[in-house]
Structure 1
């Protein structure tokens, strides 16, 4: 049957304007599709279920706060009995308002259940939302529901556009889970399939594991409705034991949300390429960062540290990695800037106290108790009298040697461990 097409014209004056609403502000907008993308095992599904459990309780920070809504899940990769339901239990979900969404088909009088296909089953999805008052639809993975070629822009848009229109109509949010392509490079280009997935979605969140800390990092890589693009947050996956309906128990992952971080997924994905032969650069960056923070009184804004590192010719990613071992990070005040504070004990857990402590005469920050300046009552260092004192009166050469000794001792302790 030929498609009938006709012109429509609507004056802008007849279109009602409205502020964009969020299920979870500023990351998960209502009325559109948000993509969760990353390599396998990064916690994308677990975090989606975590948000779903909060949606049910009406505690997400956003425009549905105080308004509990049900959750629909379209997924077939993980078994519901052994994986999905235990994960929901671990997340604290209300199992009576989480629904597995499937489609029954009858072929030659044989009934089968399958996953929905977009756009073919969009009317059935609308019916499910209306019957359950769902506020969140999780599609895991979105690529299994596309009725067409994933690498053709037209097919992807034909599937996603009706889903986005349905989300707008029902004031709900859609999380579409996808996988990364392997390799380093621009993380924005790593979504599997056509670039239309990224182009059509209004929000894209990228997931990766920071191997240096074990934390999962999530970066808001695209945000059409907020100025939060580029922001990142972290979470842990902690193992918990939950009871099963057969009288046994099983072990699954549960999300521990950690808040914002200045580490990005792009940093992590490209870190392995940067790490080859760069251990000496990292040690140099540690020494530089310690010296810089001490000169600033122990703390400094991250943006100022970045500027200082660029002036001194250091790669910012190398300084960020070094900071994991020698600095604590926190935000200063409401919507404040990131501040790094010197914490030399942070990376010393594997080094022994005996190898860390220098001879008496090294200033107290590095393990000694007496400054070489106080020994001779002079403004010059007793060990390096030709060295010009730093602003705080300390000897820059002693400081550098002490830092080098601490880093070498710590690295030696790690190798032994």
Structure 2
């Protein structure tokens, strides 16, 4: 508390830090363009009471006062801050001796200077050097405890001076440096959220390029080494956003991996997974806003030093390259001739040895992948819309998702999304007010997380329909606007452009590829709903209405179907089945049974009730040739009942009701399943009559061994064979 008061008296603005490395900001609203300077003793006392006694302790930082900047030179872990500073001193003149703070002995330090009020700088000088300003970052204040040691202040003569002087005592930043670092206020401002969404939406999919992999590896290394993970995450995200804006491939995939690794590493220190994820999303959004609002950031990759085009900070074609001298990485500026191709362009191939393998993200594993297209189809009246709204509800609440069986093992969406997310509904067939919303309420959805796309109008005020592929960019913006995890387009055929010929696989594939690209860029699971065709007897893969391109391009295809009549089904409560038609990304799950029932509070709104697993596969559910009842897998419950019936009757006939009762009690089967098992065994059922001729009871006995006449394949003669 006393140190905070001292800083205020000297003209600096204290900020509380703590957490791992002693550099985590503990309060909000005290940094950035809108930050408020804290000066009252009561707040300082609250900070001390709240954090001073914690395991991490309490450090203090200083927000830059008006008219002060710090040049942050990083030389640790091979960063070339000293080299960058020397290069610029050679170009702009030597900096005057000034006060500095550091906790390191490798040359890393922050140098403080006065600047005119209202003057702002671009945020990066070059590799390893950043400009700390009132609106951008802050400086740890002495005598804080840093991960690298005690933070100390040094006077211009190099002696430890205990604390920084009043801002007015700092030397002025030379005019040549101000001219070299300055940019106009317009370029200093960040872009809007909409501009940032545009930047993120421009990222190209595909395998990660080597530059993207380098940023990813830097973050993974920092996490593994337990260095300052927040700074590492922020730097990696900022670098990736810049690379994405310049057209490097694989940025989205790298960002998702970084988010997962960062959240896993710091959640317990950031107040939970949600707060850690919020930090990551803020870094991503902030990076995109900077790229959108500052042309200098577009022109240069500050992590590698490469600058492109006429707006590059060191002119057209200039770049920094890393060279290794006696095992030390140094940075060297070079200038290419106009005849040389721009860096990063012209290559037509990429070695797969450079591709970092990644895992598939799932919404509901292994049914609905994220970042991919999923087809969901079925006949009318099987509850497709109710099912999709059920999925939407589970996304908004974070589950729980129903248990699935994969490879004989129960799964509980371990690999899927188990925290609340947002949903975009595109043109669901039912009315929003009287059907969709009541069903969402019945399913327990958090409707604040569900949106529909607004519909523009033409010059006459008529609504303009959403069309694919013409309007997929609108969809991408809608996804980005709410950071949607799930998109439902119901039905997909209603939104295909008239320019897309229904019977043309090529035309449909091209149109759907635009949707697949949006899914990949945003990481959203896009579910396309469609009806079945009339092709009875065809396999489930060919029963979807329209082009086969839908099923071919989707990474997962699901079927909802009414269960065929069967008296031997073990899952007697199921009315419908949800089956996997195809899944390119995992093993197929076992078909799940469900039924539709009226909501307890709203009889007009159906809800999905899951009833367990089914033996039928997708082909059997659509009655495909070769998948008729005689080709199905044996029902386990019926087979168990048959086994016990044979044991009970092995010694001779018994009264039927006794057999049925004992089998049902032992196996848990219904009377119908026991009867079906008896029929399969060809049990001989005999009525036993009383003296008056009426049937008093029935007996069951095993059938006698019989012989049927057949033809010998070799001789053509009739031979006896056991039936």
**Do the structures match in fold with TM over 0.5?**
yes
More deviation, 201-210/160-169: 160-169
Alignment of 1:251-262 (within 5 A): 251-262=604-615
Query: Which among 525, 530, 539 is matched to residue 178 of structure 1?
Result: 530
**Could you tell me which of 691, 696, 702 is aligned with 1:396?**
702
- Aligned residue runs from structure 1 range 42-121, under 5 A: 42-59=382-399, 60=401, 61-106=413-458, 108=459, 110-121=460-471
Q: CA 1:89 to 1:358, structure 2 compared with 1: closer, same or farther past 3 Å?
A: farther
Q: Which of 558, 565, 573 pairs up with 1:205? A: 558
Task: Please list the CA deviations of residues 308-347 of structure 1 after superposition, one character each: whole Å capped at 9, or x if unmatched.
Answer: xxxxxxxxxxxxxxxxxxx99xxxxxxxxxxx95725245
Residue in 2 that maps onto 1:144: 494
Match of 1:343 among 650, 669, 682: 669
Please state if 1:159 is matched with 2:159: no
Q: Provide the secondary structure at the position in 2 that maps to 1:163.
A: helix
For residue 349 of structure 2, the aligned residue among 9, 33, 36 is: 9
1:324-375 Cα deviation digits (max 9, x unpaired): xxx99xxxxxxxxxxx9572524589xxxxxx99659xxxxxx989x9xxxx
Deviates more, 1:265-274 or 1:9-18: 265-274
Per the TM alignment, residue 292 of structure 1 is displaced from its structure 2 partner at its CA by 4.1
Instruction: Tell me the residue number matched to 1:304.
Output: none
> Is the CA contact (8 Å cut-off) linking 2:440 and 2:447 kept in structure 1?
yes
Distance 1:291 1:55, change over 3 A: closer
Written as runs of structure 1 = structure 2, the 5 A alignment for 1:318-329 is none
Deviation at 1:273, TM superposition (A): 11
Query: Matched residues in 2 for 1:171 and 1:181: separation?
Result: 31
SS class of match (1:185): coil
CA RMSD, aligned part only? 4.0
Q: Cα distance 1:233–1:344, how it changes in 2: closer, same or farther (>3 A)?
A: closer
Query: What is the aligned partner in structure 1 of residue 379 from structure 2?
Result: 39
For 1:124, what is the secondary structure of its paired residue? helix
Q: CA deviation at 1:259?
A: 2.6
Alignment of 1:291-306 (within 5 A): 292-294=642-644
Please report how far the alpha carbon of residue 76 of structure 1 lies from its aligned counterpart in structure 2 after TM superposition.
4.3
- Partners of 1:195 and 1:271 lie apart in 2 by 17
1: distance between equivalents of 2:469 and 2:701? 70
TM-score (norm 2): 0.38
Bigger relative contact order, structure 1 or 2, given CA contacts below 8 A and separation 6+? 1
Q: What is the CA-CA distance between 1:88 and the residue it aligns to? A: 0.9
**2:520 equivalent in structure 1:** 168
> 2: CA distance between counterparts of 1:34 and 1:211?
25
In the alignment, the residues of structure 2 paired with residue 112 and residue 296 of structure 1 have an alpha-carbon distance, to the nearest angstrom, of 72
C-alpha separation in 2, matches of 1:193 and 1:104? 28
Asked if 1 retains the 8 angstrom alpha-carbon contact of 2:395 and 2:422, the reply is: yes
| Distance 1:16-1:114 versus aligned 2 partners, 3 A rule | farther
For residue 30 of structure 1, report the CA deviation from its aligned partner: 1.1
TM-score, with structure 1 as normaliser: 0.63
Residue 548 (structure 2) aligns with: 195
1:216 aligns with 2:576: yes
Q: Distance in 2 between matches of 1:258 and 1:290?
A: 21
Q: 1:185 to 1:341 in 2, by over 3 A?
A: farther
Deviates further, 252-261 or 199-208: 252-261
- What's the counterpart of residue 622 of structure 2? 269
**After alignment, is 89-98 or 207-216 more displaced?**
207-216
Counterpart among 461, 466, 474 of residue 124 in structure 1: 474
Q: Give, in angstroms, the shift of residue 29 of structure 1.
A: 1.0
Is the CA contact (8 Å cut-off) linking 1:290 and 1:342 kept in structure 2? no
Secondary structure at the aligned position of 1:270 is classed as coil
May I ask how many residue pairs the two structures share in their alignment?
Answer: 306
Q: Give the 5 Å matches for 1:306-317.
A: none
Partner of 2:596: 237
SS of residue in 2 equivalent to 1:123: helix
CA contact (8 A) 2:594 2:609 kept: yes
For the residue of structure 2 that corresponds to 1:96, the secondary structure is helix
What is the DSSP-based 3-state SS (H/G/I as helix, E as strand, rest coil) of the residue aligned with 1:49? helix
Deviation digits for residues 189-244 of structure 1 (CA, Å, limit 9, x no counterpart): 11111111111111111111114356111110100001116x3111111112656x
Q: 1:236 to 1:96 in 2, by over 3 A?
A: same
Distance in 1 between residues matched to 2:360 and 2:668, nearest whole Å: 40
SS in 2 for 1:51: helix
